[in-house]
Amino acid sequence: MAESVYDLRKALQGAGSGIEVRVGLVADVLRNVLQAYKKKDVSGDVVGVWMTSDEGVEERRDERDVKKACDEAGTSFRLCRDEKYFIDDRDVPNDRPNDLPDLFTAYRKTVEPLREAPRKALSVQGNLPPLPAYIPPQDSPFIAPQDLDDALRRLLAPLDQNSDLPKDAVTFPPKATSVHPFSGGESAAHERVKHLLSNGSMTKYKDTRNGMIGEDFSTKLAAYLALGCISARQVHTYLLDFEDGRTGIGRSAVGYGKGENKGTGWTRFELLWRDYMRLCARKHRHRLYRIEGFQSHASGRGEKGKEPEWRSPGPKDPEAQKILLRFLRGETGMGLIDASQRELWLTGYTSNRARQNVASYLAKHLYLDWRLGAEWYESQLIDYDSSSNWGNWQYVALGDRTFNPVKQGYDYDAKGEYIKLWVPELRQWDDVQGVFQAWKIPSEERESIGLNGVEWVERPLARIEYRPGGGGSRGGSRGGGRGGKNNRGKHHKRGS
C-alpha cells in the first residue's frame, strides 16, 4: 500500500500536481485540515471534498464521518461511485441492490457477452492543477513520513516489536520464495499485465490457475485491483488489444491477434466475479460479516434451517483457542492446510485453490466460526479486499461443498512439492501419503526424520480419510472448484 501511494505521488508530480500523506483516522485528518485552512484565512478556502465510495461497513462509517466533518466546516462533500470495476455501476442491469440475483450465473447472463460489456478505460490528458501554496501540517501527536523509506520504517515498526505475535512464530523455510514478490503501484500493475501477455501466461491462465508454485500460474492482479493501482477496465483494454493484435504487447505469444481465448475469457470471468462479490456486499451490507452470512441458515452444515454449532475461543470452549492457534500457525497435521497457512503468514499470499481448502477445513472439519479465518486473511493478505475476502469465505464455509484436502493434494500437488516447500519438516519423506497426512508416517520412520513426539504429526486436529482411486472419500470433494457443478451454495453459486 505504501509503495502504491508513493508511486501515485510520483505520477501526480509528473502531471504537475502532487499528493500529501497524513497519519490518523481519515475524518480526524480531514477535520484538522479544514480547521487549519479556516484559521489561516487563506483566499478561496476549501471548496469541497470528494471521496470514493466503498461497500464495507467500516468504510461506510468512514464516509459518514468525513461527511460530518465537512458539514461542520460548511464544506461541500461529494461521494463518488468507484469506477475501477469491470462493469460500471451505470451499466449494472439491476436498478436496486435487492434486485441482484442470488446466483452468480444469473447475474453473468444479464451482462454477457463479457468481451463487449465494459466501458472504455479513461486516460489522463495533459497536466493537473498544482497543489495549493499553503498546505496544513500534520496534526500532533503523529508525524507524517518524509518519503517511502520513512513510511516503511514506521509501518513495520509494530511488527518488529512482535508484541502480539507468538514468540516462536513460523520462520521462512530454506529455499522457499514468495510467489508474489511484486512491488505496489500503478507502474508495477501495468508492467505485470504486459508481462502476463508477453510470456503467454494470460493465454494459459484457465489451465494453470489452480497451480501453487511459481509467479505466473495465476495473474496475481488482485492486490493491484484492490488498491486501485489498475482498474478492471484497464485490464480488459489490454486483453482487447492483445486479442485484436492492436499493439506490440504479446506479439510473440500464442493467441496474439486471434480473438478471445480460454485464458483471456476466464480472466474476464474472474473480473466479473469480483464485481459480483462487491454487489453482494452492497445488497446484504452487514450480513457480509455475520456468522449466518447472507442466508438465514448455513446449508451444508446439518439440517437446513438449523443453525450450525460453531466453536469459538472463549471461557465456554478453551479447547477451541488451542485449535485456532494451531490452525493459524500451520500445525494442523494436514499437509496442504499447513503449507498454505505458513505461506500466508510469511508472504501475505496463498493460491486460490489453497484458500478454498483452508476455508472448508476451518468451517467443515474443525467447526470453528468461519469469521475467524476471514479476519485472519484480512490481517494477512496482500490482496485483501473486503467484499471479495468475506464474500468468498462465506461462499466456501456456508455452501454445500466440502473440500477433502487429501484428495485436493493428490489433484493439485501430486508430488507434494508445494507442501514440502513450506513445511520443511516433511522434506525428508518421499511417500506423498505421509506428506499429505503426516500421522500416517510409521512411528519408526518418524524417529529417523525427527518427527517423533511432534504434536501436529501424532495428534492432527482432524483425521480426514481418502483412498486414491477408490471411487470417492468421506468428506470428499468433486467438481472443479469455484464454478464446479456441485457448488450449490444457495446465494453464492458461481456458474462455469
Q: Residue 487: its pLDDT value, please?
A: 35
Q: Residue 468: its pLDDT value, please?
A: 83
Cα dihedral 413, 226, 215, 189 in deg (nearest 10): 160
Q: What is the mean pLDDT of residues 259-276?
A: 98
- Which residue from 245, 288, 252, 471 is spatially nearest to 388, judged by alpha carbons? 288
**pLDDT reading at 296 higher than 90:** no
Q: What is the mean pLDDT of residues 65-91?
A: 94
**pLDDT reading at 299 higher than 80:** no
290: three-class secondary structure by DSSP = coil
Q: What is the mean pLDDT of residues 452-472?
A: 87
207 annotated ligand-binding residue: no
Cα separation, 232 vs 236, whole angstroms = 6
Stated pTM of the model = 0.90
Could you tell me if 440 and 434 are in contact, meaning their C-beta atoms sit under 8 angstroms apart? Answer: yes
Could you tell me if 267 and 230 are in contact, meaning their C-beta atoms sit under 8 angstroms apart? Answer: no
**pLDDT reading at 163 higher than 60:** no
Q: DSSP strand E in 245-290: where?
A: none
Q: What is the mean pLDDT of residues 70-80?
A: 95
54 annotated ligand-binding residue: no
Tell me the domains of the chain and their CATH numbers: 1-80 (3.40.50.620), 300-458 (1.10.579.10)
**pLDDT reading at 220 higher than 70:** yes
Could you tell me if 363 and 329 are in contact, meaning their C-beta atoms sit under 8 angstroms apart? Answer: no
Confidence bin at 251 (pLDDT 50/70/90): very high
150 annotated ligand-binding residue: no
Contacting residues for 154 by C-beta, under 8 A, at least 6 apart: 143, 145
Cell numbers that stand for 459 in this block: 495428534
Q: Residue 470: its pLDDT value, please?
A: 62
**pLDDT reading at 141 higher than 50:** yes
Cα separation, 134 vs 37, whole angstroms = 9
Phi then psi for residue 368, to 5 deg, are: -85, 150
Q: Residue 488: its pLDDT value, please?
A: 30
Among the residue ranges 116-120, 169-173, 207-211, 356-360, the one predicted with the least confidence is 169-173
Q: Residue 41: its pLDDT value, please?
A: 72
Among the residue ranges 3-12, 266-275, 295-304, the one predicted with the least confidence is 295-304
Q: What is the mean pLDDT of residues 66-73?
A: 96
**pLDDT reading at 215 higher than 70:** yes
Q: Could you say which DSSP state residue 76 is in?
A: E
Contacting residues for 95 by C-beta, under 8 A, at least 6 apart: none
What are the tens digits of pLDDT across the range 341-400?
Answer: 999 999 999 999 999 999 999 999 999 999 999 999 999 999 999 999 999 999 999 999
274: three-class secondary structure by DSSP = helix
Q: Residue 307: its pLDDT value, please?
A: 55
48: three-class secondary structure by DSSP = strand
Q: Residue 167: its pLDDT value, please?
A: 57
Q: Which residue has the cell 496474439?
A: 256
Percent of the chain at pLDDT > 90 equals 81
Cα separation, 247 vs 48, whole angstroms = 40
**pLDDT reading at 489 higher than 60:** no
Overall size of the chain counted in residues: 496
Cα separation, 241 vs 443, whole angstroms = 59
Q: Residue 165: its pLDDT value, please?
A: 57
Cα separation, 479 vs 482, whole angstroms = 9
- Decide which of 468 and 25 is more confident: 25
Among the residue ranges 318-332, 365-379, 465-479, the one predicted with the least confidence is 465-479
Could you tell me if 409 and 362 are in contact, meaning their C-beta atoms sit under 8 angstroms apart? Answer: no
Q: Which residue has the cell 503501484?
A: 185
Cα separation, 417 vs 213, whole angstroms = 8
Q: Residue 122: its pLDDT value, please?
A: 87
Could you tell me if 263 and 364 are in contact, meaning their C-beta atoms sit under 8 angstroms apart? Answer: no
Cell numbers that stand for 250 in this block: 504479446
Residue type at position 68: K
Contacting residues for 106 by C-beta, under 8 A, at least 6 apart: none
**pLDDT reading at 80 higher than 60:** yes
384 annotated ligand-binding residue: yes
Average pLDDT, the chain: 90
* Beta pairing class for 48-52 and 76-80: parallel
Confidence bin at 169 (pLDDT 50/70/90): low
Q: Could you say which DSSP state residue 485 is in?
A: T
Confidence bin at 469 (pLDDT 50/70/90): confident
What are the tens digits of pLDDT across the range 222-232?
Answer: 999 999 999 99
**pLDDT reading at 77 higher than 70:** yes
